[in-house]
Amino acid sequence: MREATSARVAHMLREKGFNAFVLVGGFAAWRKAGQATEPVPRDDLVKLPTFT
């Protein structure tokens, strides 16, 4: 199912009283339409363990 995660999260948000919507096609559709994006801030990146 497309938008599985966003639909699940939006559904939970609506159950908690938030006015949530799902963006059709997600980030891929947004980027494909040529809309504005930005690099993820370094502080938001998740540090995974590495083998180095």
Partner 1 sequence: MHDFLSLIAHHGYAVVFVVVLAEAVGLPVPAAIALLAAGAAVASGALRAPVLLLVAVIGMLIGDSLLFVLGRYMGWSLLGWLCKLSANPENCIMRSAESFYKRGKLTLVIAKFIPGVNTMAPPLAGSMLMRPMLFFQLDLAGATLYAVAYASLGFLFRDFLVAITRGFQTAGRAVEMVLLIGLLGYIIYRIRLYRKHSVYRIVPRVQVEELARKLASEDESHPLLVDVRSHGYYDPNAARIKGSIRVEPNNLAEEIKNLPKDKDIYVYCT
Residues in contact with partner 1 by CB under 8 A are 1, 3-14, 16-31, 33, 35-40, 44-46, 48-52
* Min separation Cβ 42 and partner 1, Å: 8
- Smallest gap from residue 34 Cβ to partner 1 (A): 10
- The span from the CA of 51 to the CA of 29, in Å, is 34
Whether 37 and 31 have beta carbons less than 8 Å apart is answered as yes
Residue 45: DSSP 8-state = S
- For residue 12, give both structure tokens: 């939970």
| Minimum CB distance to partner 1, residue 15 (Å) | 10
